[in-house]
Structure 1
Amino acid sequence: MLDKLNDFTQSHGALPRGRGLVTGTIALTLGILSFLGVLAFLFPQYLTTPELRKSYNVDLMRQILLGALVVGGGLSLVNILFNRSRWLSAAAFLLVTSAALLGGHKVPVHDFADGTPYIGLDWFVLDLFGSALIFIFIEKLFALRKDQPVFRAEWQCDLHHFIVNHMVVGFVLLATNLMVHKFFGWAASDGIRGWVQGLNFWVALFLIVLVADLVQYWTHRAYHEVPTLWRLHAVHHSVKSMDWLAGSRQHIGELLITRTLVLAPIYVLGFSKEVIDAYIVIVGFQAVFNHANVSVRLGPLRYLIVTPNFHHWHHSQDDAALDRNYAAHFAFLDYLFGTAVKSDQRWPKDYGVKGDYVPVGFVQQFKFPFTWKG
């Protein structure tokens, strides 16, 4: 069973229907998330994010956990009984059973001290579960490519990126904060910060998104125009199918560089916590939604804000779209700087790196910037 699971996680093909692989994968995912969720309940001081703990509705979390256990256990049991991908469903059932034996949705939470080192396991579990639930539903309602399955080719690779990038988010935040304070601390001014914090919330929110996107635009453009940086960014562009998970394919080196540069002006200008929190929500939504397999153009608004249509063109292999559409939030920046895609087609045909020279697989893509001979 372990050999089959290992081969399964390292494969890169779309899942065929009718063999129990799709339902088995769903059951396994729910089993893993349930098991991790129970661990987070058991060891909250080490496995949960301090900022998130304060806002949790524990009863709601328990109900979600119960639902995941029931659905994951039910799907795996049905597959086992009908001899459909038993090895996969057996692994899922084992995880669900283990989670239940550890306390399941009734696992007690004991008092604990704050200030301990932690891994944001709760953020990973909630983000994967929530993103999958919300965006797969949206993709089914407004599908661009209706024949594209949820478990399309190379989904395993993108899931590996999702897992690793989320599990090291604490390190990334720590590293970026240190770099921002070290290299940009000199630029902070109490006068400017006071003025920014005195702005109306909506004005400040527009300003933070605009400032961040200006940095994002030029950083993104540099990734395309500077060969050394392209080595990192090519990993992200190697995605050949656009969906909610595709945006997760990002080299950790690019993640560190981009976050440091984008956070620098936010730190220097001193935006309030409320504005920063709202900005994080916007960034999180657009990062997933604009890669999603959805047929959304938004009419004339697409010239102002970045839409899935706008960003899909950025990932296109079409000659007219190469090194275009850099903005992450405001599309008008590309029109302003002359880098917007001009095409008579509504949507691009093919995605990915032209020449298809980036290998598939998380480890291979992690090594790619340092080993590519191009």
Structure 2
Amino acid sequence: MIIAMIFIPLERLLPLDADQKVLRKHWLNDAIYLFFNGILIKLGVLVLVGLLMIAIRFVVPEGLTGVVQAQPIWLQAVEVILVADTGFYLAHRVFHAVPFLWKFHAIHHSIEEMDWLAAHRVHPVDQIVTMTASLLPVYALGFSGTAIAVYALVYQGQSLLIHSNTRIRFGPLKWVLASPQFHHWHHANERQAYDKNFAGQLPFIDALAGTLYMPERMPRVYGTDEPVPPLYHQQLAYPLKQLAGRVPAGELSEEPGDART
């Protein structure tokens, strides 16, 4: 409710698409993601990171973790954001490059009307693997819980903002901090924008890797041409059914195949 009380008025005051409704198409489906997906993701990340930490804790020198923990909290927080977003970038790029993984990530790219609520439409497998890639090096290096909490708050707030239906621009900071302009282009269903802007928070990572695309205009069309079913339970099962080659035709939208797959 707090998030809705912030972002719904913000999207009404500074809309990118003024004609888009608050209760836009598939809003209820994305609300289900908001209320139920977090439980699956948190449990999955807890188990996966926990198991991997058992395996790698003997590899990271105690001296290194001691140096990390001796730093001031503000510096640790900055480093956590940098380390975590590098992991996010790499995992995100892999989900676009590997056909098996793209089936999971296509759920997120099926968003056709961008807003704060749409940020939650992410398949649990996609989010669990991506968050593990982000957080595992952070925990392995021994960053403090306070610094990680700062990262978590910044990540959550920025994730909602960059998906939001707002015309907020960051000026020169757009090259440093992810903005709606930056991330909307990642969701654009326009050929020149395919496989661009993978970072979650730091666009300069894309600039360094050669995957940055951020023209002044905003995208005209979002989503993917790949037919993705519209309902939550169908979307959870969709990647596995796709891989098995048995998606019932009635579950799919009436759209042509995606050129990216």
* TM-score using structure 1 length: 0.63
Tell me the distance in 1 between the aligned counterparts of 2:8 and 2:223. Answer: 21
Does structure 1 residue 227 correspond to structure 2 residue 99?
yes
Q: Report which structure shows greater RCO (CA 8 Å, sep ≥6).
A: 2
Q: In 1, distance between residues paired with 2:11 and 2:59?
A: 43
Gaps of 5+ in 2: 246-260
CA root-mean-square deviation: 1.5
Give the whole-Å Cα distance in 2 for the aligned partners of 1:233 and 1:272.
31
Identify the residue that residue 220 of structure 2 maps to in structure 1: 349
Shift of 1:169: 4.8
User: How big is the shift at 1:325?
Assistant: 0.3
Q: Does 1:133 align with 2:133?
A: no
Mapped contact 1:314–1:322 kept (Cα < 8 A): yes
Tell me the equivalent position of 1:110. none
CA contact (8 A) 1:232 1:254 kept: yes
- Equivalent residues in 2 for 1:145-164, closer than 5 Å: 145-164=17-36
CA distance, structure 2, for counterparts of residue 184 and residue 254 of structure 1 = 23
Please name the residue that 1:5 is paired with.
none
Q: Which residue of 2 aligns with 1:359?
A: 229
Amino acid at match of 1:300: P
Partner amino acid for 1:229? L
Letter in structure 1 aligned against 2:168: V
Change (3 A) 1:297 1:219: same
- Whichever of the two has the greater Rg, that structure is 1
Residue 267 of structure 1 aligns with which residue? 139
The equivalences for 1:191-210 within 5 A come to: 191-210=63-82
Residue identity opposite 2:142 in structure 1: G
SS state at 2:211 partner: coil
Question: Which secondary structure state, in structure 2, belongs to the residue aligned with residue 168 of structure 1?
Answer: helix
Are the structure 2 counterparts of residues 190 and 237 from structure 1 closer, same or farther at C-alpha, using a change threshold of 3 Å? same
8 Å CA contact 2:186, 2:197 repeated in 1? yes
Cα displacement (A) at 1:304: 1.2
Give the CA deviation at 1:342.
5.0
Q: How does 1:1-374 map to 2 (within 5 A)?
A: 129-343=1-215, 345-353=216-224, 355-372=225-242, 373=245
Aligned length: 244
Once residues 358 and 186 of structure 1 are traced to their aligned partners in structure 2, the CA distance between those partners, rounded to angstroms, is 43
Instruction: Please name the residue that 2:251 is paired with.
Output: none
**In structure 2, how many angstroms separate the alpha carbons of the residues matched to 1:278 and 1:230?**
30
Taking only the aligned residue pairs, the percentage that are identical comes to: 36
CA distances 1:305-340 after superposition (whole Å, capped 9, x unpaired): 110110000000011110000000110111111101
1:34-63 CA-to-partner distances (Å, cap 9, x unmatched) read: xxxxxxxxxxxxxxxxxxxxxxxxxxxxxx
State the match for 1:89 in structure 2.
none
| Offset at residue 138 of structure 1 (A) | 1.6
Q: What SS class does the counterpart of residue 285 from structure 1 fall into?
A: helix
